[in-house]
């Protein structure tokens, strides 16, 4: 019998998220989160076996414990113990692959890739482009390799879906030699989500991905838009780093780069301080103090003017990208909202397309506000462009890609 399980690992600097899925159906067998790895004090592990719903909606089987977690190896071993307690396991013959989310694949990795020494070295070489993320991803891969060297480890890159973006959209208009030497160009992120959502949107329309042009709006705490033509990404809002583009929970998105020089000269801020300002104290939080869209909308409805401005700035930027990508694509078949804000914030969806009838965009408020989960259309039947809500599932996409690769 062929092995059918895929363990998906998403390693952050101090956390490890994992999901065990049975493929090809994508059924979740267990999910978990290990936090506070390598920090002072005990770490924490939450494990949820199947039957309790991997989304955390269920309850009974959920297990939680505190334990010493000096490093990622300890975290993965602890996750392995929890899986073993459910009769699953890191060394189970059922395990077909371990799929790793890797944030930056540069221009090298255009597809999911089985990890070997050469691949590890290349991910290492890309560390300067993602100094926080790639080292954590590498730690996860190395740990998994040490624990189970026999099962294929597949790296799935956040940037891969965007490697089809043509040069005229990916190049910044700066000195070409400087750009080449330092690998400065638009890479884009959230690619696994944009790939998954654009394909699901085509399915929702009853068409093949090659037949449709889709604008995907991944609006979570981080946020990005992508223009997808016939299944291939042709533009995206994030750039060299995930700081560019839309207004996010705590990140500024687009600003005049001269703001950085200005803050340095006039405010005497260091590069590290400006980095922290733009990544952690900007976006919705910078504008109004809250980075959670639920709170922003609640305060706005209570008459809070700062929250109102934050919402309006967020929406203005979103609409600017929507309009830009209509121009990039020429013909648009669908706009898809996804991630925490995109899937849940009805008000954001309404405001994003309000008054855009001339572009063929409209929303049916009854459909928009219906308490329905799962992929769905929220545009009226007459609308030229379908507007959809498509829940993203990056773990399922990573498992799907990893499983396909090891069975190819």
Binding site for ligand AMP (CB under 6 A): 220-221, 249, 292-294, 339-341, 344-345
CB of 137 to ligand AMP, least distance (A): 18
Cα diameter, the chain: 67
Which residues are part of a known binding site?
Answer: 10, 17, 101, 218-222, 292-294, 340-344, 394
- By beta-carbon proximity to ligand AMP, the closer residue of 168 and 373 is 373
In the annotated binding site for substrate, the residues are 101
The two structure tokens encoding residue 20: 């065990």
Q: Is the separation of the CB atoms in 387 and 377 below 8 Å?
A: yes
What is the phi-psi region of residue 200: left when phi exceeds 0, alpha when psi lies from -120 to 50, beta otherwise? alpha
DSSP secondary structure letters along 210-254: GG-EEEEEEESSSEEEEEEETTEEEEES--SSTTSSS--SS---S
| Residue 47 token pair | 């494990």
Q: How far apart are CA 196 and CA 219, in angstroms?
A: 14
Sort residue 245 into left (φ over 0), alpha (ψ -120 to 50) or beta: left
* Eight-state DSSP code of residue 352: H
Binding positions for Mg(2+) are: 10, 394
Distance between alpha carbon 219 and the CA centroid of its chain, in Å? 9
CB of 28 to ligand AMP, least distance (A): 17
Q: Which residue is nearest to ligand AMP (CB)?
A: 340
Least separation in angstroms between residue 174's CB and ligand AMP is 31
* Residue set of the binding site for ATP: 17, 218-222, 292-294, 340-344
Q: Which is nearer to ligand AMP, 300 or 361 (CB)?
A: 300
* Closer by beta carbon to ligand AMP, 112 or else 220: 220
Catalytic residue among 22, 158, 290, 304, which?
Answer: 158
Least Cβ distance, residue 295 to ligand AMP (angstroms): 8
Residue closer to ligand AMP (CB basis): 35 or 292: 292
- Those residues whose C-beta lies under 8 Å from the C-beta of residue 307, and which sit 6 or more positions away, are 288, 290, 295, 296, 297, 298, 299, 300
Tokens of 361: 């965009």
**Strands 232-236 and 213-219, how do they pair?**
unpaired
Q: How far is the CB of 338 from ligand AMP (least distance, A)?
A: 8
Nearer to ligand AMP, 50 or 339 (CB): 339
CA of residue 345 relative to chain centroid, distance? 17
Specify whether 55 is catalytic: no
Decide the pairing of beta strands 232-236 and 16-22.
unpaired
Q: Which residues are catalytic?
A: 158
């Amino acid at each position: 019998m062929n092995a059918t399980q895929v363990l998906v690992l998403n390693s952050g600097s101090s956390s490890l998220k994992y999901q065990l899925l049975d493929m090809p159906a994508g059924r979740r067998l267990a999910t978990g989160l290990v936090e506070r790895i390598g920090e002072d004090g005990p770490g924490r592990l939450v494990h949820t076996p199947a039957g309790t719903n991997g989304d955390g909606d269920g309850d009974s089987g959920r297990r939680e414990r505190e334990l010493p977690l000096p490093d990622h190896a300890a975290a993965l071993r602890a996750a392995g113990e929890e899986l073993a307690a459910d009769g699953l396991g890191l060394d189970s013959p059922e395990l077909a692959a371990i799929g790793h989310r890797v944030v930056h694949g540069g221009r090298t990795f255009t597809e999911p890739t089985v990890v070997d020494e050469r691949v590890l070295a290349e991910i290492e070489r890309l560390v300067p482009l993602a100094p926080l993320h790639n080292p954590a991803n590498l730690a996860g891969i190395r740990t998994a390799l040490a624990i189970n060297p026999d099962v294929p480890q597949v790296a799935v890159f956040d940037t891969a879906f965007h490697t089809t973006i043509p040069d005229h959209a990916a190049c910044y208009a700066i000195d070409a030699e400087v750009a080449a030497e330092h690998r400065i160009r638009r890479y884009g992120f959230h690619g696994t989500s944009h790939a998954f959502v654009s394909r699901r949107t085509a399915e929702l329309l009853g068409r093949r991905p090659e037949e449709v042009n889709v604008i995907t709006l991944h609006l979570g705490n981080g946020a990005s838009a992508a223009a997808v033509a016939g299944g291939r990404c042709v533009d995206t809002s994030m750039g060299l780093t995930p700081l560019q583009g839309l207004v996010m929970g705590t990140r500024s998105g687009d600003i005049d780069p001269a703001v950085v020089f200005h803050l340095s000269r006039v405010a005497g801020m260091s590069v590290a301080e400006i980095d922290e300002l733009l990544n952690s104290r900007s976006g919705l939080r910078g504008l109004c103090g809250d980075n959670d869209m639920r709170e922003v909308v609640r305060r706005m409805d209570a008459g809070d003017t700062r929250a109102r401005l934050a919402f309006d700035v967020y929406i203005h930027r979103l609409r600017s990208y929507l309009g830009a990508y209509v121009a990039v694509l020429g013909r648009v078949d669908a706009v898809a909202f996804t991630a925490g804000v995109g899937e849940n914030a009805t008000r954001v969806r309404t405001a994003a397309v309000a008054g855009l009838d001339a572009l063929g965009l409209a929303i049916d408020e009854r459909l928009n506000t219906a308490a329905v989960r799962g992929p769905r259309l929220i545009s009226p039947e007459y609308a030229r462009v379908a507007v959809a809500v498509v829940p993203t599932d990056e773990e399922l996409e990573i498992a799907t890609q990893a499983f396909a690769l090891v069975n190819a």
